[in-house]
Structure 1
Amino acid sequence: MLDADGSETSPLIHVRTRPHGSLSWPAARDAARKTGAEGGSPTAEVPLPAALGAVLGADLVSAIDVPALDTAAMDGYAVAGKGPWSVLGRSLAGRGAPVARLRRGEAVEIATGAVVPDGTLAVLPYEEAEAAGTVVHGACAPGRHIRRRGETVPAGALAARRGAPVTPALLGLAAGLGLDTLPVTRPVVRVLITGDEIVHSGRPRPGAVRDAIGPVLPGLVAWAGGRCEEPRALPDGRAPLVSALAALPGDHVAAVGGSSSAGPADHLRAALAALGARIVVDGVACRPGHPQLLAVLPSGAVVVGLPGNPGAALAAALTLLVPVLCGRTGRRDPAHGGRRARLSAMTDPHPIDTRLLPVRVHGDLAVETESHGPADLRGAAAADALAVLPPTTRGTAADGTVELVAVPT
């Protein structure tokens, strides 16, 4: 619900003032990453398929040379000395060569990846060779099309750094290094959805609201290298929140949907106070999403309070939750890649808040998608980024571009 100046309000109250000490959007994002970095996430050795999407928990150092021996980089002929060459046989990858060493004027037909015999000058590709019976002609430069031992990754080399996202390519790299497992870290997020009016399946009855925050978070968290537990529904009240947060392990993160505002049904601050939590962020000067919260429990567990409106919750999760997770693992924040674009239409900044506008990006042009306030996810569902419009023009570069915050698609 919006009040007269367009700010978000609880549906139970008419006026809500912004919490004292609201941080600017950039400052809140930085505080979230630093807070995440204060804690840690356990590192576990897991099979390669299970590592996909996690974050590398230790530097990956090669124990072997890749390739282990000099191999052919093309299909053709391994030749020694000047041609023409007499072909002595065929060498295939994974099989023994017909000769261990070539003498001048000798060659073996060879497949990509096969070990080249000692004495090989170069590999002459099929398309550059002329074969007549067992004799082959052609011209080649010394060392051409030979992949030398350790050329791809030498033994002892740093193949990937701690904090790198485990992508399909990194899994292939690890397999090529002879590994069956990887040390990875994957922060765990416990999702708590509050509200007596929230239902979690089917069509909501009159007066009820279907949970739209719980379904957003698993994909967003996985995109940041974490894992969501099954969302848990909590009734309104301080006691259920205190009980749920008190049971949170110190290396976990809690994402609390709803209850972060200042209405009579919002109990997160009281629950955090009862648990002796340290408040890091109490409100962020952004729209949508300014009633968001970041706190650290005495155990070290981090609590991120998200607004009850799903569009605002998404913006808040990108502002606080994703940076917290990236700080925990040391990985790059996938939402903030430094990309910029020009807005296709003039949009006025808010006097004091950073506006986060859902956009579709076409080259260097960002086109705003239709959205109807913080409760609406239609604009975000059609977007591939949020355009960052600061309260003044200082966020606009000389070329008229604004920062883009990526969203998982």
Structure 2
Amino acid sequence: MTVVLSEARRMARAAGAAMALRVETVGLAEADGRVLAADVVAATRLPVTDASAMDGWAVAGDGPWQVDGAVRMGAPPGSLTEGSARVITTGGAVPEGATAVLRSERGRVRDGVLTADGPTSPAAGADIRAAGDEVRSGSIVAPKGARVTPAVIAAAAATGADAFEVVARPRVAVVLVGDEFVVRGVPGPGQVRDALGIALPDLLQDNGAAVVTVERVADDLEALREAISGGGVDLVVTAAATGHGACDHLAGALDAASAHVVFRGVGMRPGHPALLARRVDGVPVLGLPGNPFAAVVALTVIGLPLLAGALGAAPPRPRRRVAAEAFTAGTGGVRIVPVCEGDDGVRPVRQGPSVVSGAVAADHLAFVPDHGVAAGGLLDVVDLPWRR
């Protein structure tokens, strides 16, 4: 059942794409970070009308020109007759009949008459931004599947949009498994402080999900079966109980729930015990390892592609970085290493699977292949969820 990392990422994205989330409409102020369910189409052109590219005067024909007033921002610009000029500011609507804009530093006014510095008038069309030069009416401002950013919001607002159609956030149930976890204070002998109960829901929500429940269950097969079988969700994410030990009951709970296991185990370290299954109602179950850093790794390299597939967004693709020092190979598949970005490339950050302290300062996760990478070689990296 163990699969290579690339196949696990492909399967996870496919599982997300099969979720078929609903579409909803949100206002521009609530849209940041959402994923577009439809193209954003310009309702108007930009500039809406011919506009001045500079402060100065809109002029008609050759000079000298009689100045007849000023273009008021936000008001109709009117028209100019041959030999006339009108004060205009950058972005102001150019009056009908204007042939050019004379920059303020290239002209002077005396007794209401504008003359150009130099022997010639400005060339026809000089410093005029033609209507529709930036955006044409009906053109695509942002495509379906794009993540809404402040830039997308500003561009959409400028072209007349008041709302977006976006993919609904997948509703996620988080299930934390184990008898040994405490949620406050310093853990005692045999106990472990819960490092994922807050961090895991936050990471999911930061990446497009809506966490609707967070449940802690004991190392008990029936309790776990009930926890992963709850209704009203699009995805279940568990932490711990994915291994093969006496207290690792997730596989048994899935079997008891008649779920189909897509894969159990991924060729990567840490994060090897990650699991993906599908309930009888089609809801995916993503099982993360119990060790905190291993869980973060599995969520980053498998969970984020799953969420991207559900939202119809582009998956987080690995990028190439230069290795500032040699990276040795691991065992059992791809070795995943937290790294920091430097002027000479990326360097590893010391990090064990059971804590996340080293990853606090890291920028990416590097995928070290089974033959290792020499200093100066290239590594595939993905951003850590909090560095995106």
State the distance in 2 between where 1:247 and 1:120 align. Answer: 69
Letter in 1 for 2:240: G
Match of 1:67 among 5, 29, 47: 47
* Partner in structure 1 of residue 101 of structure 2: 123
Deviation at 1:323, TM superposition (A): 0.4
Distance (Å, rounded) in 1 between the aligned partners of 2:56 and 2:231: 62
- Aligned residue for 1:256, secondary structure, equals strand
Percent identity over the alignment?
Answer: 38
Give 2:130's match in structure 1, choosing from 144, 148, 161: 148
Superposed counterparts of 1:190-269, under 5 Å? 190-249=173-232, 252-269=234-251
Q: Distance in 2 between matches of 1:129 and 1:282?
A: 76
Matched, 1:378 2:357: yes
Cα distance 1:135–1:390, how it changes in 2: closer, same or farther (>3 A)?
same
Q: 1:357 aligns with which of 327, 337, 360?
A: 337
2:162 matched residue in structure 1 = 180
The 5 Å alignment of 1:29-108 reads 29-97=9-77, 100-108=78-86
Q: Distance in 2 between matches of 1:234 and 1:146?
A: 67
Q: By how many angstroms is 1:351 displaced?
A: 4.1
1:392 paired with 2:375, answer no
The correspondence for 2:90, drawn from 91, 105, 112, is: 112
Q: Which residue matches 1:406?
A: 383
Moved more, 193-202 or 100-109: 193-202
Counterpart residue number, 1:285: 267
2:43–2:161 CA contact under 8 A, matched in 1? no
**Secondary structure of the residue that 1:56 maps to in structure 2?**
coil
Q: Is the CA contact 1:216–1:314 (under 8 Å) kept in the aligned structure 2?
A: no
Query: Deviations 1:334-384 (Å, cap 9, x if unpaired)?
Result: 4x2x4212222222102431011111112450011122x201212211100
Once the two structures are TM-superposed, the CA of residue 219 in structure 1 deviates from its matched residue by 4.2
- Given the superposition, is the C-alpha separation of residues 388 and 108 from structure 1 closer, same or farther in structure 2, using an over 3 Å criterion? same
Compare 314-323 and 35-44 and name the one that shifted more.
Answer: 35-44
- The aligned length equals 381
| Aligned-pair CA distance for 1:287 | 0.8
TM-score normalised by structure 2 residue count: 0.91
Tell me the distance in 1 between the aligned counterparts of 2:73 and 2:374: 55
Given that residues 323 and 374 in structure 2 are in contact (C-alpha distance below 8 angstroms), is that contact kept between their aligned partners in structure 1? Answer: no
Deviation string 1:307-334 (CA, Å, 9 cap, x unpaired) is: 0000000100012110000011221224
Counterpart contact for 1:249–1:299, Cα < 8 Å: no
Cα deviation digits, residues 87-114 of structure 1 (max 9, x gap): 21111221243xx211222111112232
Point out where structure 2 has 5 or more consecutive residues left out of the alignment.
none
Partner Cα separation in structure 1 for residue 321 and residue 242 of structure 2 = 32
Q: Distance in 2 between matches of 1:277 and 1:133?
A: 88
Q: How far did residue 23 of structure 1 move? A: 1.0
CA contact 2:39–2:143 (8 Å) conserved in 1: yes
Unaligned stretches of 5+ residues in structure 1 = 1-20
Letter in 2 for 1:104: E
The farther-off stretch of 142-151 and 399-408 is 142-151
Distance between the aligned counterparts of 1:201 and 1:120, measured in 2? 72
Q: CA deviation at 1:120?
A: 1.6
Q: Secondary structure at the match of 1:55?
A: coil
Whether the 8 Å contact between 2:47 and 2:129 is mirrored in structure 1 is yes
Contact conserved, 1:248 with 1:301, CA < 8 A, in 2?
A: no
Structure 2: distance between partners of 1:274 and 1:145 = 73
